[in-house]
Structure 1
């Protein structure tokens, strides 16, 4: 297992990064909330390709949870996460406390629009992306990273972060990493561990439905017809569907004509007590 520097305060993180900077190293950042799986490790591996040094962060950010979501139930597995990060050759783990990130008197947040107000995740979690943008901006400034990795699985989040970095002239490159999947197509997620065996068997239907809708659209079917068929299939399988939408891949604006694309198909649905999201490129 490789050595990894563990930091829990901003001052300790900056001290460690300063040593790397003195050596002229490019810095990569992998922000996470822990409970790491192979999808997170793919981000670390991609960061190693793009930077000499890699910082991984673990912080379960209370600002991105709504009152209806159970922050306490979010899985916390730091010891196992540390072993995985060490094996993947991350150089620094930054795992701050809530008090370190939001000290007494903290009063500043980032207001987000554009892709954060697209009527997708924000329709069900209205304060989520303000919390994401605020903590990610803090991590960018705390680490001084040159490049930051974000998975395409959380596609709307990826677009929000990219917009924020552009709008605020933050000197960090946002690198998108393809969704990592199980052999049956299920997008890897920390929440998959909450699926019962029955629901785990059903969960890959979301990806299959996205693929069929994309194939139908490529074959000349209208977008709305393909989506209507997909929504029916998801609901008939027993999911509680939040949305299945076609959006412009860059702006997340609704799109009705594939020729106006590129098109991204996005889905969110609940099976049992577990909410799953997924997306794919359609054109």
Structure 2
């Protein structure tokens, strides 16, 4: 149970760190016209394309929206507090869904592998519960999908909040991560483990090869641990589906639903990048 929680938190921190790097690279590409593809021949400021994930696209869009409000009349501290409140709600829902998933996976594992375990006060074994495996397999799959969506939602709220910190920090060239960490719970060990701590500016202390190799490997190990937990969940679900197979339309519907639900749950957080076009009209909007 605690391993699953640590896995989600570690992944959340790593995804946040990746998003920071991605938005910095994308912003530099816009400013420096580091294009993907060929720019328009009619003008030096013609359309060009950037590869963005949905999260990075939202971050950049929020950044541009805030630049249209230079005096802070719209994006005020009161609005910031509302975003913080909604982020806390998103985190609360994420934690609730995580606990539900852990308990359903534990229950399903006990039904699948606890054949010698009997229900207290009866002579029935866990495997004798009618349709128990099918019910928990479907419930675990649905909970996994909801957890994946709430996890993504909390990340997007976090992205919006971080733009407020970036705007404030730009005035003094301060690392905005330290401002965000004061308002939202952040896995600061990921920042401490990075070879370049301040990805928005110059580091005060340059990390050597030993530090980069050791803590870079540690971050990879954390991600690998989370992936193994995810694979464990999928393995339990797969075994539950295998034991439920039979030649009937209801079985086919059940299997299809479980597979599609878990596939969607995994795919929604892959942060796949696609090309987006920035037109000449959009380039006329303020970038700095």
For Structure 1 versus Structure 2, the TM-score category normalised by the shorter chain is under 0.3
The structure having more radius of gyration, on CA atoms, is: 2
| TM-score after normalising by structure 1 | 0.22
| TM-score after normalising by structure 2 | 0.21
Higher relative contact order, chain-length normalized (CA < 8 Å, sep 6+): 2
- Larger fraction in helix: 2
